[in-house]
Chain A
């Protein structure tokens, strides 16, 4: 396709928007048509006979019936949505390189910055507490280091990592399986607002598209495509996350995986990837250092935003002492039920004789000090930034 000037591109936008919305035409077909006709406008105005060598009768029919959408383009800006076809200068460079790149991209908020680091964090929707913790730790810490966190805006790992990145003062971008004006899942209404302030929402689907199940796998290639590398936190075998990984490998992206216990079904997919030779992510710091070494050598260092050091809250000033400290040492990152804690205490010399009510008092005090997190009737230690794995 010959190079169009910026003015020409701007002039063609309504027609590009129209072409994107034509149903019954695949991504590849649209791009092929365009490479022949050069301008979307010409496709729009072309006679049936001219189109017939390229399209079937039904496809031409679909093209002709689609006309009214041209004017709708001007309504997009009112909704704060931008549309970029693949030849548009704003179309993400990273995405341009991937096979089967989407014809057009709808964007609410911003696009990921080309010169900045970007990492996709993906994982299970029904994540465990372990996955929740990791998603928040990686999302938060890397977000604070200026890494743009790309993910699928889904429940579980995706949303948690994105929320943590935003919380830590970083930026994040969600790739949706519905129109960018649709908040799905609805429970992410808060995150939807937040992400528009420090990042953006992207979708290959026109505004108003409902979240249908077959929309989601195709958007996975955009998640990996927008990122320099993909980090997997908790995935079952045969899961959508692994589709993203396949796409990433096809696109030549690095894949990193956080290992899990071999007995956890939610870690099966992760451990399988490790077996197949994926990179190992042991801590946010280690992953960052490794990527800095390999992929991000040329990126300029990012000035840390003041105030928000890590993704995880720092514990309060008065550190736990004595029995509190001993009890804290028994707790784990994953929540333990009160009975499990009590059983562990019975095996500990210092804590053996503490009664149940006293245990609860100690635990609640630790919760108030910010050292322990209460998850319903269970208790978990609050992890400190960089406390595990290689530093």
Chain B
């Protein structure tokens, strides 16, 4: 007897359909699993066999062969158990395979028949949909991942009992017993009120403004300032002023989280942009992703959102250097002996750091770090990384008396309004181009999309002659000015937009060129 069932696998971020072929024939009794399999896939043989036995369905004494096709792709993970079980049952004549032709199975089986969660349900569902699969049976814990996907019903099952009921039911019966999650429904919660509000930040006018500009143009931002100035507070509030994820972006983000095994529970598909804040002891692999079975790292989890590196100089140098390639190419490439994997990593870097080891430079009453110590501390952020950071803003030290005096700041909702207006303008500007935001513009395209008037050009020349701006920073300043003008609702880049952009650039200059 031969039967075949559908399942799905993941290589990097790419999902592909897998056909699980089961054959039971006479011969020397045995159970063989083939098809370029990792250990945990092969061990499924025992899990399935015993789970079936415990449900009162012993396998026949015969030669059993299971092949996972395509057989030339290395398969890993425990998601094939359900499909193997279904194939075996079909061969044993317990179920009718005819009714399962447009159904795929994904899930791990425990010995007592419980079905446990697996990673990557969402991208697999999307890939299987393309293959014409209309039903996907997954562990109940993973069922929520199918929420946003239309065209394929994702059905959650808890254990072997439900699995058998599903398999043995007729087509109509199935639909009523297991309705699956509604396709296309399930909107995420409101984006902004999930995050702390900017209204809680007292004072810090310039740093808040910098956060707003960075959010509007997707510019990489570095906040400096003494301990307790509110750098972390500001960074933590930035996702709240970013516009919600679009449908397309939501699917991208959710797929990454699905592969990483982080979807489900509270982290359902939502419009919230990711905010990922790894501790400074994180390893390069933790940041970029990797492992024997590669998994997306922090950089990919921050895709379309914010990667916040608090105390940036405390990160190991090699860890920071990992950022270089993803910040350029917006993807992380991991090469392993069995192939290369590519994870999206289009994030906005927000860094925070003290200006010196003790944190109070240049306040010489509290800081006695020598110039050399300060320089050495700052140089922990290498030139290439610094080169990719668009703006540096200073969070000013706050005195206790100011805390009493200062009025509450502007709320996130107001800032978000301006940011989304600026984004709307960028959307119109970049129609039909690969760009989404000003921050992504390459050098040559900067001149194309960000035109300067004669007066403005002359002004920038003066700034350059006065030594306030380097030639390298030229395009950065213009890109920033473009975003600031967008925030302002101006079509033309004006002098004040350029001035503000120069200001964000000069913070960078000071930190790394001695003055």
Contact B497 A357 (CB under 8 A): yes
Chain B contacts of A193 at CB under 8 A? Answer: none
Total contacting residues, chain A, CB less than 8 A? 33
Q: Residue A342 contacts which of B206, B468, B496, B499 (CB distance < 8 angstroms)? A: B206
Q: Residue B509 contacts which of A156, A264, A340, A376 (CB distance < 8 angstroms)? A: A376
Question: Of B147-155, B177-185, B500-508, which stretch is located at the interface?
Answer: B500-508
Q: Residue A264 contacts which of B365, B462, B496 (CB distance < 8 angstroms)? A: B365
Contact A263 B468 (CB under 8 A): no
Give a binary string over B100-127; 1 marks a CB under 8 Å from any A CB, 0 the rest. Answer: 0000000000000000000000000000
Q: How far is the CB of A341 from chain B (nearest CB, A)?
A: 9
Among A355-378, those with CB < 8 Å from B are 356-358, 360-361, 363-365, 367-368, 374-378
Contact A375 B515 (CB under 8 A): yes
For B229, give the chain A residue with the smallest CB separation.
A339
Contact A340 B396 (CB under 8 A): yes
Contact B209 A375 (CB under 8 A): no
Give a binary string over B367-390; 1 marks a CB under 8 Å from any A CB, 0 the rest. Answer: 011110000000000000000000
Q: How far is the CB of A22 from chain B (nearest CB, A)?
A: 34
> How far, in angstroms, from A342 to B510 measured CA to CA in the complex?
21
Q: Is B484 an interface residue (CB 8 A)?
A: yes
Contact B496 A263 (CB under 8 A): no
Among B202-233, those with CB < 8 Å from A are 203-207, 209
Q: Residue A356 contacts which of B205, B370, B515 (CB distance < 8 angstroms)? A: B205
Q: Residue B396 contacts which of A264, A337, A367 (CB distance < 8 angstroms)? A: A337
Contact B369 A126 (CB under 8 A): yes
Chain A contacts of B511 at CB under 8 A? Answer: 376
Among A320-348, those with CB < 8 Å from B are 335, 337-340, 342-343
Contact A339 B393 (CB under 8 A): no
Q: Is A161 an interface residue (CB 8 A)?
A: no
> How far, in angstroms, from A155 to B204 measured CA to CA in the complex?
33
Contact A364 B203 (CB under 8 A): no
> How far, in angstroms, from A277 to B206 measured CA to CA in the complex?
45
Known contacts A126-B369, A339-B396, A374-B506; decide if A361 and B364 are in contact (CB<8 Å).
no
- Of B207, B503, B511, the most chain A CB neighbours within 10 A belong to B503
Contact B496 A360 (CB under 8 A): yes
> How far, in angstroms, from A127 to B362 measured CA to CA in the complex?
10
Chain A contacts of B370 at CB under 8 A? Answer: 125-126
Known contacts A356-B205, A357-B484, A357-B497; decide if A338 and B364 are in contact (CB<8 Å).
no
> How far, in angstroms, from A22 to B497 measured CA to CA in the complex?
67
For A337, give the chain B residue with the smallest CB separation.
B396
For A362, give the chain B residue with the smallest CB separation.
B499
Contact A338 B484 (CB under 8 A): no
Q: How far is the CB of A346 from chain B (nearest CB, A)?
A: 10
Contact B371 A377 (CB under 8 A): no
> How far, in angstroms, from A356 to B500 measured CA to CA in the complex?
8
Chain A contacts of B209 at CB under 8 A? Answer: 356
Contact A376 B506 (CB under 8 A): yes
Contact A360 B510 (CB under 8 A): no
Q: Is B466 an interface residue (CB 8 A)?
A: yes
What does DSSP make chain A's interface, helix, strand, loop or mixed?
helix
> How far, in angstroms, from A156 to B204 measured CA to CA in the complex?
31
Known contacts A337-B396, A338-B503; decide if A364 and B364 are in contact (CB<8 Å).
no
Contact A356 B497 (CB under 8 A): no
Known contacts A126-B368, A126-B370, A342-B205; decide if A364 and B499 are in contact (CB<8 Å).
yes
Q: Residue A368 contacts which of B203, B369, B466, B497 (CB distance < 8 angstroms)? A: B466
What does DSSP make chain B's interface, helix, strand, loop or mixed?
helix
Q: Is A42 an interface residue (CB 8 A)?
A: no
Q: Is A229 an interface residue (CB 8 A)?
A: no
> How far, in angstroms, from A291 to B9 measured CA to CA in the complex?
88
Contact B466 A377 (CB under 8 A): no
Chain B contacts of A375 at CB under 8 A? Answer: 510, 515
> How far, in angstroms, from A360 to B394 measured CA to CA in the complex?
14
Q: Is B199 an interface residue (CB 8 A)?
A: no
Known contacts A337-B394, A342-B205, A360-B503; decide if A367 and B466 are in contact (CB<8 Å).
yes
Q: Is B495 an interface residue (CB 8 A)?
A: yes
Contact B362 A377 (CB under 8 A): no
Contact B371 A126 (CB under 8 A): yes
Chain A contacts of B138 at CB under 8 A? Answer: none
Known contacts A263-B365, A338-B503; decide if A376 and B205 are in contact (CB<8 Å).
no
Chain B contacts of A363 at CB under 8 A? Answer: 499, 503
Q: Is B95 an interface residue (CB 8 A)?
A: no
Contact B496 A357 (CB under 8 A): yes
Give a binary string over B472-515; 1 marks a CB under 8 Å from any A CB, 0 the rest. Answer: 00000000000010001000000111011011001101110001
Q: Is A266 an interface residue (CB 8 A)?
A: yes
- Of B207, B362, B468, the most chain A CB neighbours within 10 A belong to B362
Q: Is A128 an interface residue (CB 8 A)?
A: yes
Q: Is A129 an interface residue (CB 8 A)?
A: yes
Q: Is B441 an interface residue (CB 8 A)?
A: no
Chain B contacts of A155 at CB under 8 A? Answer: 371
> How far, in angstroms, from A360 to B495 measured CA to CA in the complex?
10
Known contacts A339-B204, A357-B488; decide if A377 and B394 are in contact (CB<8 Å).
yes
> How far, in angstroms, from A363 to B370 measured CA to CA in the complex?
30
Q: Is B334 an interface residue (CB 8 A)?
A: no
For B508, give the chain A residue with the smallest CB separation.
A376
Contact A377 B503 (CB under 8 A): yes
For B355, give the chain A residue with the smallest CB separation.
A376
Chain B contacts of A374 at CB under 8 A? Answer: 468, 506
Contact B369 A339 (CB under 8 A): no
Known contacts A356-B205, A376-B511; decide if A129 and B496 are in contact (CB<8 Å).
no
> How far, in angstroms, from A338 to B394 measured CA to CA in the complex?
9
Q: Residue B500 contacts which of A128, A360, A377, A378 (CB distance < 8 angstroms)? A: A360
Contact B510 A339 (CB under 8 A): no
Q: How far is the CB of B449 from chain A (nearest CB, A)?
A: 21
Contact A361 B496 (CB under 8 A): yes
Known contacts A128-B364, A265-B365, A339-B396; decide if A377 and B507 are in contact (CB<8 Å).
yes
Subset of 29 A-B contacts with CB under 8 Å: A125-B371, A126-B370, A127-B364, A129-B362, A155-B371, A264-B365, A265-B364, A265-B365, A266-B364, A266-B365, A338-B206, A338-B503, A342-B205, A343-B203, A357-B488, A357-B499, A360-B496, A360-B499, A360-B502, A361-B496, A361-B500, A364-B463, A364-B502, A368-B462, A374-B506, A376-B506, A376-B507, A376-B511, A376-B515
- Please provide the 3 A-B residue pairs with the shortest distance between their CB atoms, ordered closest to farther: A376-B510, A339-B396, A361-B496
Name 5 extra pairs, CB < 8 A, besides A357-B500, A375-B515, A377-B206. Answer: A266-B365, A339-B204, A357-B497, A361-B495, A375-B510
Q: List residues of B whose CB falls within 8 A of some A CB.
A: 203-207, 209, 362, 364-365, 368-371, 392-394, 396, 402, 462-463, 466, 468, 484, 488, 495-497, 499-500, 502-503, 506-507, 509-511, 515
